[in-house]
Amino acid sequence: MTLPILELAGLRKSFGELEILTGIDLKVTKGELAFVIGPSGSGKSTMLRCCNLLERPTSGAVMLEGRNIAASGVRLDPVRRRIGMVFQSFNLYPHLDALGNVSLALRKSLKLPRAEAAERAAAALERVGLAERARHHPAQLSGGQQQRVAIARAMALEPAVMLFDEPTSALDPELVGEVLAVMRELREAGMTMVVVSHEMRFAREAADRVIFMDQGAIVEQGTAEEIFGAPKSSRLQAFLARQA
């Protein structure tokens, strides 16, 4: 059996008295695209944020490439470099152009020299179809292009896994497709991905596994056909009925 790249085991997270994640067990294997759905407030973002320790789990393990990174004493910087994250809001620096945004991440995280960072940043921008836009600042780019820059920035670090938290939710509908296309290409290139999204069509064509969360727990998981075509739990059935 192949070792999972990322594994959550008995993951719990409370904010004060409130338990938000109530014991998550999840394994993501190399090259897999795990697609997470669930109602607003069900803990999807908190789960992703626990994966790279933007939130500290209250208990449980976050195993990255076989090592529990939630254990005390683990240095976070090298771990975070192995996990790329793409948010709903692109979080680009407005005063830097696309190339500058990507190469700054490379210089900061990997301590690459300026010229090497710029070269690698240019290659990453080319992969997301933005070679021609490298010298544009965020304000000169559409939302879809800005999100592609954010994906290039995460991807350029060559992480072991990439986490996407509703990457297309802030976009006008006509810009969603170009971002999903980039994600599809990443998957085809073998990137391991955990994607929280409402794009059910994308899930059907690209997800290896769909995971349904509700009230801080994984209620059901399976292939897209199983989850969308033959949902078992009444909670998933009700959730899907509301999406239609």
Given candidates 41, 78, 113, 229, which one binds ligand ADP under the rule CB under 6 A? 41
Q: Are 157 and 135 in contact (CB under 8 A)?
A: no
- Residue with Cβ nearer Mg ion (45 or 192): 45
- Residue with Cβ nearer ligand ADP (149 or 227): 227
Interatomic CA distance for residues 237 and 226, integer angstroms: 12
Residue 57 as a binder of ligand ADP (CB under 6 A): the answer is no
The window from 33-41, 156-164, 177-185, 203-211 that contacts ligand ADP (CB under 6 A) reads: 33-41
Residue 43 contacts which entry, ligand ADP, Mg ion, none (Cβ below 5-8 A, type-dependent):
ligand ADP
DSSP string, 4-39: PSEEEEEEEEEETTEEEEEEEEEEE-TT-EEEEE--
Strands 18-28 and 6-15: antiparallel
Residue 11 bridge partners (DSSP): 24
Q: Environment class of residue 9 by beta-carbon count within 10 Å: exposed (0-12), middle (13-18) or buried (19+)?
A: middle
The window from 2-10, 35-43, 116-124, 125-133 that contacts ligand ADP (CB under 6 A) reads: 35-43
User: At its nearest, how many Å lie between ligand ADP and the CB of residue 16?
Assistant: 7
**Contact positions vs ligand ADP (CB under 6 A):** 15, 20, 38, 40-46
